[in-house]
Amino acid sequence: GPELGADCVADILARLAQAHLQLSSGQGAELMWNGQASTQLRPIHALQIGALKTAPAFEVALYAGLRAAQVDVADTLLRQYATFVGEGFQVLNDLTDWEDNANKGHRGQDVLARRPTILRAFALEAGAGDALDDLVTAARASGSGNSVLPQVRTLYHQHGVFEKAHRLYGGLRTRALDLAREIEPPALRELFQFLVRNILREVRLVSD
């Protein structure tokens, strides 16, 4: 307070409160979808949930630093940048769950819990919903979720799920970098580009 002034502190606290509400909405939206054998989930729904769950945290963290440093970045640009980064972060998280070096104890848990991931959304869109739900039901009946994960992986490959998610991720990363190039001054532009490259790292397509 003494260093930043009351107006600055009030602005940052107001944005933090707003971000907490948005993050709670995103988590609530995910919980509403969890466990449902619903065919209504679409990629746009998964992206919206991911954006609400993650983007406000990126946005308010950047806003707090910018406001404290008295550096002005247009709210619309900052929000769009945070949205692309937040959505990309969620897609990356879904993809890395299936990487060969992923934690085997957690691999595929999103599938077994029927969480609204972008991978599940693409599978449903491709008409693989019944097959996916049959595998999950079988896994729950047997009490061994890991036993069906190779079949889920094959199903995702057959319907191009990993490829679609990988392309989407690349597009979100590119859009975030493009927006970062619009930011002035140059030092701040470099920081925003650095953040994209570190948060949204290059990722390989999930192999067969």
pLDDT at site 181: 95
d(CA 17, CA 15): 5
Q: Is residue 35 very low, low, confident or very high in pLDDT (cuts 50, 70, 90)? A: low
Q: Is residue 101 very low, low, confident or very high in pLDDT (cuts 50, 70, 90)? A: low
Structure tokens at 51: 């954006």
Question: How many beta carbons lie within 10 A of that of residue 104, not counting itself?
Answer: 10
Closest CA relative to residue 75, chosen from 85, 87, 66? 66
pLDDT at site 3: 87
Per-residue pLDDT tens over the stretch 73-83: 999 999 999 99
Closest CA relative to residue 170, chosen from 195, 201, 124, 198? 201
The dihedral sign for the CA sequence 148, 124, 26, 202: positive
Mean pLDDT of 96-122: 79
Kindly report the average pLDDT of the chain as a whole number. 90
pLDDT at site 207: 79
Percent of the chain exceeding pLDDT 90 equals 67
Per-residue pLDDT tens over the stretch 193-205: 999 999 999 888 8
Using a cut of 0.85, tell me whether the model's pTM lies above it.
Answer: yes
Q: Identify the top-confidence range among 132-136, 139-143, 176-180.
A: 176-180
pLDDT higher at 50 or 80: 80
pLDDT at site 98: 87
pLDDT at site 37: 61
pLDDT at site 32: 86
Mean pLDDT of 83-106: 83
> Counting beta carbons within 10 angstroms of the beta carbon of residue 79, is it exposed (0 to 12), middle (13 to 18) or buried (19 or more)?
middle
Structure tokens at 89: 């972060």
